[in-house]
Amino acid sequence: MSALSQRIRRTQAGLAVIDIQERLLPAIHQKERVVHNAVRLVRGAAILGLPTLVTEQYPKGLGPTVPEVAAALAPTIAPIEKLTFSACGAPGFTEALAAKGIADVLLCGIEAHVCVCQTCLELLEQDLRPVVVADAISSRAPDDCRVALERMRAAGAIVVSTEMVLFELLERAGTDAFRQILPLVK
């Protein structure tokens, strides 16, 4: 069975929110969709008990994580500052993945063709499984996002939607987690 055909399991999954920052967001295509779905993912991850990591690319220049996303995060989640495009180059990022037992890394954020794509490719090099949440990523230009999704999929990433991955992680209806996730997908 290939890694692409294996289900995404809660026990080895975590969320990485990549660079959804104040000064970068205004230029992003469909920015409202990205923020809306990132917030749904952050809230869903909290309900499901998934660890969440957040990165900020050069926050001195690009500002902090946007307020909507920051407000959804637990107060104990501190952004990891980075200068590398790949989050894997940020001090402590890959160590945090290992310490939290994350093998399936759900990726959301901006820009799809730069930081998200380079993070995805480096995760693959580290034998981790990137799960790119297609409706929670974007770039300034729609074509850049489209090409990035094509490249990440061709490289071996799993591409999903926000609702798809939340239901896959839930596995079943009728649970407390299901009742808490339901308002996020309606």
**What burial letters (b/e) apply to 52-77, b meaning 16+ CB within 10 Å?**
bbbbbbebeeeeebbeebbebbeeeb
Nearest to 44, CA basis, from 149, 131, 151, 155: 131
Identify the active-site residue in 82, 104, 117, 120: 82
3-state SS track over 42-90: HHHHHHHCCCEEEEEECHHHHCCECHHHHHHCCCCCCCEEECCCCHHHC
Measure CA of the first residue to CA of the last residue in the chain; give whole Å.
33
| Angle, CA 70 vertex, CA 94 and CA 32 arms, to 5° | 105
3-state secondary structure of 155: helix
Identify the active-site residue in 88, 108, 115, 120: 115
**Residue 82 catalytic?**
yes
What's CA 103's distance to the chain center, in Å?
13
3-state secondary structure of 126: coil
**Residue 145 catalytic?**
no
**Residue 19 catalytic?**
yes
Catalytic positions, written as ranges: 19, 82, 115
